[in-house]
Amino acid sequence: MRQVFHYLRSYLKESLLGPLFKLLEATFELFVPLVVADIVDVGIKNGDRTHIVWMAVLMVALGVIGLSCTVAAQYFAAKASVGCTSKLRRALFRHIGKLDYSTLDGLGTSTMVTRLTSDMNQVETGLNLTLRLLLRSPFVVFGAMVMAFTIDAHAASVFAVTIPVLALAVFAIMLVSIPLYKKVQQALDKVLLSARENLLGVRVLRAFGREADEIAEFEKRGDALAASQRFVGRISALLNPLTFVLINLAAVVLVYVGALRVDAGMIETGEVIALYNYMSQILVELVKLANLIINVTRSVASANRIESIIMLPEEENGCVTELDVNAEYAVEFDRVSLRYKNGGSDALSDISFRVRRGQTVGIIGGTGSGKSSLVNMIPAFYPATAGVVRVYGENVNDIDRGTLRRRVAVVSQGAPLFRGTVRDNILFGRPDATDAEVASAVKTAQAADVIASKDGGLDEPVERGGVNFSGGQRQRLTIARALVTGADILILDDSSSALDFATDAALRASLAALEPKPTVFVVSQRTSSIMHADMIIVLDDGECVGMGTHEELLASCAVYREIHDSQRKEASA
């Protein structure tokens, strides 16, 4: 909750004015039963129509003033709650962007989406209700009891008994409901996770014919959520009937005691009506207070979940902002090992190599051998658990992240594109690139024909994820996006897997002809894509089992030779 209060300070005025106007509205509301009593005891009893009219005008005035105060309170409460949660949401989004990859992997996408949406909405609702009702409801309850005692202390003793009993009933239901609402929220998280996974993987589900299984799983989680909601709903549903029974019993007792007092000439009929109205006000406010506490409890739980992410440490940033790009070695791995968070064993073990500036390095190995893990350590996406990774002679952990990642361009396996236009996507890494630089990057990436085939050219719309482009087109556009940054080190993480052999060969030739020539890391499953590299690293189960040129590895590395021979047989078959 500290984060909520931190951002609420910016709306201190609104946070004070909202409850203040609500208290004013409640004060005017407390005077209404007295006006009604005066109409009955003076106007109606004496047949004074003028008095009745003036009292009616006074009631209307109280109503108008109260309505104005309510509108003002709602405005200030909404401004404070919406403004506070908007700042909190932006802060959470910025913080998520600064978390390291290990933390993000541990949290999961569905968790972060839920925190930014459902939990934020719950905090906003709870904050709004708190500013409007937290002071108003207790004020009306105790104010009504005080006003009742000013009318007649004997009859008002009914209030002194009823209010504690009502409060006990309300808070007993509340205390039982609050833990159950937490379980409902957890069940909702599971439903959201299932829905998100199915929507993102809909093509895979259809390809494997698993729709029925996933529908059954979703229905199972949905039924669990519905069952939890029904259970807590039945308990919460006791609130209104139980309180109404108690209040109506109290009203019967109040009317009976009031009738006796009227018959004895101690109070007037209108005062009994006022006492009854105060009893009704107390009922309404206690129910409001119970619902408020339940909502606030859920909001506090959501705020704590949000805060648990905000309090996570950001990715460590180095202080070196200048790199010696003329250093002999662009990248060095010195006995490097990597173990992922909560991983049972090392993903990479004791990897050592040096890459000179302008060299092309091929990385090959079986599935799960650690190819992507290795290249992800160059831009410091994951820190080494042992050994040192150096870029231009500096430990990557000591280099400022902005400086490092301006020098390293990564084309990932998924070839993600963002909603917008082709031009927007290519300029994503360097918005100030000129048209000539864009054209050069597009040409080198073999994407010129992709753009020429589209009616809009560079202004062709791109749907979310680039679903209106084929896999090969997306890969070439993401390569162009990396090239336009002008980075010294280019990492192609299996980014040509969807390209045919001719396009792949043309891409390699274009990269080799670049001036100045970047240091290129090519992760591939095909030996044909890396056979012309200056150095090839062969990985097997996280270990380096071979290193050298294509010819050297064919002679010395059984794993590489097996991969090459199997692919050559497939090509000739």
Residue type, 137: S
Give the residue extent of every domain in the chain.
Answer: 2-310, 329-572
pLDDT tens digits, 107-158 = 877 778 888 888 899 899 989 988 988 888 888 888 888 888 888 888 878 8
Tokens at 227, concatenated: 């069952």
CA separation for the pair 101, 315 (Å, rounded)? 8
H helix or E strand, kind and range, residue 560: helix 558-572
Angle among Cα 187, 190, 192 to the nearest 5 degrees reads: 110
Q: What is the pTM for the complete model shown? A: 0.76
pLDDT tens digits, 370-418 = 898 999 999 988 889 999 999 999 999 999 988 998 899 998 877 788 8
Number of other residues whose CB lies within 10 A of the CB of residue 486: 16
User: Scanning the structure block, which residue is given the tokens 């020098």?
Assistant: 407
Ranges in the chain, pLDDT < 50? none
CA separation for the pair 225, 201 (Å, rounded)? 23
pLDDT at 489: 93
365: left (phi over 0), alpha (psi -120 to 50) or beta: left
Which residues lie closer than 8 Å to 278 by C-beta, 6 or more apart? 33, 144, 145, 147, 148, 159
Tokens at 79, concatenated: 């401004």
H helix or E strand, kind and range, residue 562: helix 558-572
CA separation for the pair 221, 199 (Å, rounded)? 16
Quick one: 107 exposed, middle or buried, by C-beta within 10 A (0-12, 13-18, 19+)?
middle
| Superfamily of 329-572 according to CATH | P-loop containing nucleotide triphosphate hydrolases (3.40.50.300)
- If you ran DSSP here, which 8-state letter would residue 459 be given? G
pLDDT at 547: 93
pLDDT at 86: 92
Which residues lie closer than 8 Å to 353 by C-beta, 6 or more apart? 332, 333, 535, 537, 544, 547
Q: What string of H, E and C letters represents the secondary structure of 123-192?
A: HHHHHHHHHHHCCHHHHHHHHHHHHHHHHCHHHHHHHHHHHHHHHHHHHHHHHHHHHHHHHHHHHHHHHH
CA separation for the pair 103, 302 (Å, rounded)? 20
User: Scanning the structure block, which residue is given the tokens 């049972």?
Assistant: 344
Q: Which CATH class is domain 2-310?
A: mainly alpha
The interaxial angle of helices 136-151 and 120-133, nearest 10 deg, is: 20
Report how far apart the first and last C-alpha atoms of the chain are (Å, whole number).
65
Whether the Cβ atoms of residue 457 and residue 451 lie closer than 8 Å to each other: yes
Tokens at 302, concatenated: 């959501």
